[in-house]
Amino acid sequence: MISGFIVKKSTMTNIYTPEGRRVGVTKCVVSPLTVTQVKTKEKDGYQAIQVAYGTKKHLDKPVSAKLAKLKLKINPQHFTEFDLTTETVPEVGSNIAIDSVFTAGDNVSVFGVTKGRGFAGVIKRYGFRRQPVSGGQSDRVRAPGSIGAQTPGKVIKGKKMPGHYGNVTKQVKGLKIVSVDVAKNEIIIDGPIPGHINSWVTILKK
């Protein structure tokens, strides 16, 4: 089947293991993925499965023309591709369920876009310590301090300074699938994953 899945992040909660240990988990809402294209090495130069996910009201003309040609009555929000991990190739128009890709106990990595926090200072952005209040600088306690020296006479590239914080793609490795519930359209992953509630996240097999 395919090497990953697209899910929508839900809330965090905690569960108890059979050993009595409490662990934090993240619930995700699952919907079947629709296969829209099968890419082959002979035609496209690589092998992959293109799937559609999400829904929206209006489609642009290229997308609507493509779906009309395939005779698919869907209004997908996005398209993405996954590698093919088995010799069985799914047909165009078929749906891929979550239980055909993942099972409880699988080790995975999760990609998501972190929460955007706007313009932030170095204390919030990088965890800097506050400067001392004494010494006549009571209004500069959250400033970064010195940012350079006489040599080399410039601010070094990559210096930690205030700026835009969050809203970047981040990968979290070493996670595990706790359970897959097809009846509830839900998958539970141990630990936190990036993104806000109702944001799309990508789960890949490790």
Pairing mode, strands 95-96 and 186-190? unpaired
Question: Dihedral, CA atoms, 48, 53, 57, 61, nearest 10 degrees?
Answer: 0
Estimate to the nearest angstrom the gap between the alpha carbon of 160 and the chain centroid.
25
- CB-neighbour burial class of residue 12 (10 A; exposed 0-12, middle 13-18, buried 19+): middle
Coil, strand or helix at 204: strand
Pick the closest to residue 146 from 128, 164, 134, 163 (CA basis): 128
Q: How far apart are CA 55 and CA 75, in angstroms?
A: 5
Give whole-number Cα distances, 94 to 22, 26, 82, in Å.
Answer: 39, 28, 15
Domain 117-165 grouped into CATH 2.40.50.140 = no
Q: Which fold has domain 4-115+169-205?
A: Double Stranded RNA Binding Domain (3.30.160)
Domain boundaries, the chain: 4-115+169-205, 117-165
Q: pTM (2 decimals)?
A: 0.86
The pLDDT tens digits along the chain (206 residues) read 899 999 999 999 999 988 999 999 999 999 999 999 999 999 999 999 999 999 999 999 999 999 999 999 999 999 999 999 988 899 999 999 999 999 999 999 999 999 999 999 999 999 999 998 887 777 889 999 999 989 999 999 999 999 999 999 999 999 999 999 999 999 999 999 999 999 999 999 98
Asked, colleague to colleague, whether 4-115+169-205 and 117-165 share their fold, the answer is no
